[in-house]
C-alpha cells in the first residue's frame, strides 16, 4: 500500500495512488465534507449551475457530471408539509405552493409519510397518577375514537367500532388508575373503570345528566311535574358547595313525595298485533327523567367534585363535566375530519393519530420521528410483500383491509360467479 502510494496506480488519482479517505490520511490533504465524490472515487469540482440554479459538480477523473442531493433536507421539508397539511387547515394547493411543486407531485411525495408510525404516548405516563382523567368517545369515518385526557393534554386514545366494555378496558389498561374519572354515562366506560380502576371515584358529567332529562321531558315540558324535574336538572351545573348539593337532594326527594302517586299511574293499552291488553306507565317520560337523577344521586356519582379524595394535589381544578374533552378535543377532531372529509377511513385514522399526538404533554418532533423511521420507506416496502392473512380487516377495532382482495375465483352458489356456458 505504501509503495503504491509513492509510485502511483493506474486506477487511482493521477496525483497519487490512494483513494477516498486514504488519500487524506496518506497525503495530508484536507478534504471538504461539502465536496461530493464521484462514483469512481475521484474528486469533483464545481461546474456551473443547472437551469434551476443548483450547483453542478464535475469529476476531475472520469468527467461525469452530477448534482449534490440532500435527501434528508428534502424529506424533512416534505414531512413538515405533510404534518401541517394533516393537523391544520392548510390545503394541498397551499402546501404544494410552499414547496414549489404541483399538488399531484406533493401527493406522490406524501405516500411514504403515511407509513410513519405514531408513537404511543401512554408509555411516557407509566406510573404517573393523575388527579382527574376525562374519558369519552366520538365517531368519525375511521371508526369510534375513545380518548382519555387530563384538563391540559391528551393522555392516550384507542380506535374501535363501538364503545364496548372491552374496548374501554384496552384503553384503561395502558394508564395508571387516577383518583377521579369523569365519564358521560356510557355503560361500557363505567364497567371498564370498575374492573380496571376499582379504587377510582367516578364523576358523572353533569351536562350529560341534564341532556338525559331533556331527552325525556323536552326543553318545553307540558306538565307541571315535567317542568319541575327539568328545572331541577338545570340547577345541577350551578352547584358549588356541599350545602347547595344537600338542598338539591332534598328538592329531589320532595319531588318524589309530591308526584309519586301521579308517576305511579298506569293505563291499559291494547297491542294492535296480538290484541292483548297490558298496563303501562301513563307518564313514563317524567318517570324515567326522575329515575335517572335519583339513581345518580343515590349512587354518589353527581357531587364527587365537591368531596375529592385527600390525595388530590389541586382540588380547585377538579371539574364536574367533560367539557374540556368535548370542546377542546372531540370538537376539534370532528372539525378536522370535516375539513379532510374526502380522506379514506384508514388515512383519516392516521391523520387524527398525529393530531392527538401533538396534543400530548411532551410530543416529540414529528420530523425527528420520521427520520428515525427512515421516512416511512421501510414500512412502504413491506406493503407489497404482505400476505393474505396480514391484509385481513380487523373487525374488533374496525380497521379496514389495506387493499382489496378482488372477487373470489372459486365457485360459489352466489350470483357473483356462476358456472356454465353463456
Domain residue ranges in the chain: 2-67
pLDDT digits (tens, 9 = 90+) for 175-206: 999 999 999 988 999 999 999 999 999 999 99
What average pLDDT score do residues 307-320 get?
93
Closest by Cα among 269, 337, 327, 360 to 87: 337
How far is the C-alpha of 234 from the C-alpha of 297, rounded, in Å? 15
Are 96 and 105 in contact by the 8 Å Cβ rule? The answer is yes
How far is the C-alpha of 159 from the C-alpha of 136, rounded, in Å? 12
Are 169 and 152 in contact by the 8 Å Cβ rule? The answer is no
| Integer CA distances (angstroms), 341 to 84, 141, 276, 351, 356, in order | 16, 8, 50, 11, 18
What average pLDDT score do residues 417-422 get?
53
Percent of the chain with pLDDT over 90: 58
Are 201 and 171 in contact by the 8 Å Cβ rule? The answer is no
> Which pLDDT score, from 0 to 100, does residue 124 have?
81
The SS3 of residue 209 is: helix
pTM score, two decimals?
0.75
Q: Kindly give the pairing relationship between strand 154-160 and strand 143-149.
A: antiparallel
| Integer CA distances (angstroms), 24 to 29, 193, 230, 354, in order | 5, 66, 86, 46
What average pLDDT score do residues 9-29 get?
43
Q: Which three cell numbers stand for residue 389?
A: 392473512
Closest by Cα among 88, 81, 60, 56 to 69: 56
For residue 159, give the H/E element and its range: strand 154-160
Amino acid at each position: 500500500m505504501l509503495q503504491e502510494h509513492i509510485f502511483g496506480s493506474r486506477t487511482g488519482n493521477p496525483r497519487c495512488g490512494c483513494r477516498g479517505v486514504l488519500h487524506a490520511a496518506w497525503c495530508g490533504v484536507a478534504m471538504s465534507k461539502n465536496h461530493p465524490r464521484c462514483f469512481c472515487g475521484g474528486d469533483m469540482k464545481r461546474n456551473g449551475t443547472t437551469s434551476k440554479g443548483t450547483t453542478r459538480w464535475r469529476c476531475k477523473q472520469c468527467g461525469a457530471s452530477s448534482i449534490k442531493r440532500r435527501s434528508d433536507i428534502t424529506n424533512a421539508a416534505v414531512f413538515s408539509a405533510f404534518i401541517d397539511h394533516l393537523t391544520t387547515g392548510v390545503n394541498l394547493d397551499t402546501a404544494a405552493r410552499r414547496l414549489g411543486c404541483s399538488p399531484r407531485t406533493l401527493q406522490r411525495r406524501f405516500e411514504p409519510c403515511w407509513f410513519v408510525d405514531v408513537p404511543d404516548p401512554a408509555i411516557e405516563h407509566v406510573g404517573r397518577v393523575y388527579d382527574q382523567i376525562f374519558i369519552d368517545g366520538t365517531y368519525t369515518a375511521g371508526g369510534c375514537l375513545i380518548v382519555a385526557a387530563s384538563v391540559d393534554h391528551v393522555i392516550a386514545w384507542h380506535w374501535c367500532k363501538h364503545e364496548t366494555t372491552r374496548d374501554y378496558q384496552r384503553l384503561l389498561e395502558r394508564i395508571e388508575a387516577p383518583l377521579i374519572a369523569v365519564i358521560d354515562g356510557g355503560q361500557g366506560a363505567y364497567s371498564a373503570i370498575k374492573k380496571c380502576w376499582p379504587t377510582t371515584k367516578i364523576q358523572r358529567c353533569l351536562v350529560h345528566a341534564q341532556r338525559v332529562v331533556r331527552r325525556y321531558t323536552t326543553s318545553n315540558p307540558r306538565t307541571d311535574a315535567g317542568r319541575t324535574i327539568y328545572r331541577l336538572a338545570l340547577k345541577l351545573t350551578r352547584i358549588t358547595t356541599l350545602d347547595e348539593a344537600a338542598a338539591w337532594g332534598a328538592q329531589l326527594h320532595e319531588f318524589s313525595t309530591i308526584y309519586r302517586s301521579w308517576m305511579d299511574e298506569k293505563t291499559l293499552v291494547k297491542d294492535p298485533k296480538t290484541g292483548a291488553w297490558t298496563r303501562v306507565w301513563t307518564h313514563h317520560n317524567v318517570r324515567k327523567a326522575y329515575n335517572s337523577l335519583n339513581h345518580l344521586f343515590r349512587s354518589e356519582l353527581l357531587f364527587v367534585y365537591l368531596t375529592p379524595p385527600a390525595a388530590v394535589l389541586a382540588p380547585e381544578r377538579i371539574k364536574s363535566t367533560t367539557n374540556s374533552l368535548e370542546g377542546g378535543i372531540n370538537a376539534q377532531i370532528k372539525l378536522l375530519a370535516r375539513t379532510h372529509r374526502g380522506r379514506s377511513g384508514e388515512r383519516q385514522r392516521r391523520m387524527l393519530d398525529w393530531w392527538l399526538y401533538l396534543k400530548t404533554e411532551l410530543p416529540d418532533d414529528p420530523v425527528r420521528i420520521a427520520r428515525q423511521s427512515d421516512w416511512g420507506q421501510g414500512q412502504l416496502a413491506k406493503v407489497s410483500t404482505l400476505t393474505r392473512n396480514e391484509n385481513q380487516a380487523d373487525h374488533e377495532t374496525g380497521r379496514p383491509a389495506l387493499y382489496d382482495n378482488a372477487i373470489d375465483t372459486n365457485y360459489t352458489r352466489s350470483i357473483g360467479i356462476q358456472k356454465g356456458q353463456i
